[in-house]
Structure 1
Amino acid sequence: MTIMLWCLLAIIVMPILAKAPLAYAMHQINGYDNAHPRDQQAKLTGFGARALAAHKNSFEAIAYFAPAVLAVIAVDAIDSLAQTLALIFVATRSFYVVSYWLNYDKLRSTFWMIGFGCALALIIRLL
């Protein structure tokens, strides 16, 4: 169960880690506006806009990965396949974020599909 929980923790923390490049991009346009960060984020282009999208998508990934992991834990179906799927999900999500920053759109989409497939497989194997 430890691997599953570590993977869950990694995915929950990922949006916060993905915020660092976003904060840097925000700082580049007249300093970080902590009073109105969303207004400032709406003005971002290029790298900054991609960093914002990666940050937001990291939150979205929690919505389909966390229930999958929690379902596996709840029905006591933790085995090497479940752990491998969870680890691959974390790895592909990490590569996804970096691909977003670097503007590798096709590679990013490939990582997204692999990660989503892993989350889906975690649930499907319980049926």
Structure 2
Amino acid sequence: MTVAFWCVLIALILPYGCAYIAKFTGGKFSLKQNHDPRTYLDALEGLPKRAHAAQLNSFEILPGFIAAVVISDIVGNAQQVTLDVLAVVFITSRLLYIICYLADWATLRSLVWFAGFAIIVSYFFVSM
């Protein structure tokens, strides 16, 4: 397993950390809310609401990252160390993105999101 593949696993786990923050920082989540968690999550405010939004965005960007890692591995034109470094930088950008979302730093969050997206795009260019 390459570092880039391990980063795919990390990227898959990150949204669940956000979900935990969304559900349990408000102090109101219980098994009763688990019968209809979407309604509960839609009614959140403040930090839990931002954590839920970070969770959703983390799921949304996953397919692009996974595709970039797998396609670049299949093509095989890039050095593995380059792919691994890109993956680690992507995970770092996602962690920073989540921090910015939770802290309500909207402008910085958008810049970090764009950097993460640029990393995904760069996979295709280094694999040419």
Q: Which residue matches 2:125?
A: 124
Residues 49-93 of structure 1, C-alpha deviations (whole Å, 9 max, x = no match): 111100111101111100000011112234322221111100000
Q: Which residue matches 2:99?
A: 98
Query: Structure 1 CA distance, aligned partners of 2:120 and 2:12?
Result: 15
Q: Which amino acid aligns with 1:106?
A: T
CA contact (8 A) 1:21 1:51 kept: yes
Query: Aligned residues: percent identity?
Result: 29
Matches within 5 A, 1:36-55: 36-55=36-55
CA contact (8 A) 2:7 2:91 kept: yes
1:14/1:78 CA distance change after superposition, 3 Å: farther
| Superposition TM-score, scaled by structure 1 size | 0.90
Q: Which amino acid aligns with 2:109?
A: R
Q: Which amino acid aligns with 1:20?
A: Y
Q: Which residue matches 1:12?
A: 12
CA contact (8 A) 1:72 1:78 kept: no
Residues 80-125 of structure 1, C-alpha deviations (whole Å, 9 max, x = no match): 2222111110000011011101111111111111111001000122
Structure 2: state its 5+ residue gaps. Answer: none
| Superposition TM-score, scaled by structure 2 size | 0.89
1:2/1:79 CA distance change after superposition, 3 Å: closer
Q: Which amino acid aligns with 1:72?
A: S
Matches within 5 A, 1:48-127: 48-76=48-76, 77-127=78-128
The DSSP-based 3-state class of the residue aligned with 2:13 is helix
The DSSP-based 3-state class of the residue aligned with 1:28 is coil
Tell me by how many angstroms 1:28 deviates: 2.7
Query: Structure 2 CA distance, aligned partners of 1:42 and 1:78?
Result: 44
Count matched residues.
125
